[in-house]
Amino acid sequence: MKKTARKSSKEGRIINVSSEGHRYPYPEGIRFDKINDQQGYSIFRAYFQSKLANILHANELARRLKEEGADITANSLHPGAIVTNLFRYNSAISGFVNVLGRGVFKNVKQGAATTCYVALHPQVKGVTGEYFWDSNLSKPSRQGQDAAMAKKLWDFSMDLTK
């Protein structure tokens, strides 16, 4: 991407799709010391932890790309509550989404709008390390803005992939 951005003189854009659920992870945010802990596992908190990780990753990546002088931005976003098959393995929630959610939640095209906006809109040129919701800048949780946690997640991930 760096090479393409340089050769084409066009900004590259990386977008991490997150969720407002990032506000409800485990109390410590990312459970670095209990990443595979089955005893304290919560399906919802683990999902929300992963959404927090998406934001932290985008923030740290944005910082690193900016430091390198790369013409690439990295941002995260909440696409909104969308009628999808995300809860296909939880019949109660899936039933709720499919019946009642259709009148309240976004359809797939509406849910893609913020992603398309952040990826393509000229107003977002040069904007990096930000969080978007409904095609607008938004503010993530305190943990979602934690630069130390973002760096720790980056280093933790790098160690896991060695």
Sketch the domain layout of the chain as residue ranges.
Answer: 2-160
pLDDT digits (tens, 9 = 90+) for 45-89: 999 999 999 999 999 999 999 999 999 999 999 998 766 655 555
Return the percentage of the chain with pLDDT > 90, whole number.
76
Q: Residue 129: pLDDT band by 50, 70, 90 thresholds?
A: very high
Determine the pLDDT at residue 93: 65
Return the percentage of the chain with pLDDT > 70, whole number.
86
Is residue 47 annotated as part of the catalytic site, yes or no?
Answer: no
Gap between the Cα atoms of 69 and 60, Å rounded: 14
- The active-site residue out of 26, 41, 47, 131 is 41
pLDDT digits (tens, 9 = 90+) for 30-48: 999 998 889 999 989 999 9
Amino acid (1-letter code) at residue 47: Y
Determine the pLDDT at residue 105: 76
Which of 55, 62, 57 lies closest to 76, judged by CA? 55
- C-alpha of 129 from chain center: 11
Amino acid (1-letter code) at residue 73: T
pLDDT digits (tens, 9 = 90+) for 83-119: 665 555 566 666 666 666 666 777 878 889 999 999 9
CATH entry 3.40.50.300 includes domain 2-160: no
Amino acid (1-letter code) at residue 18: S
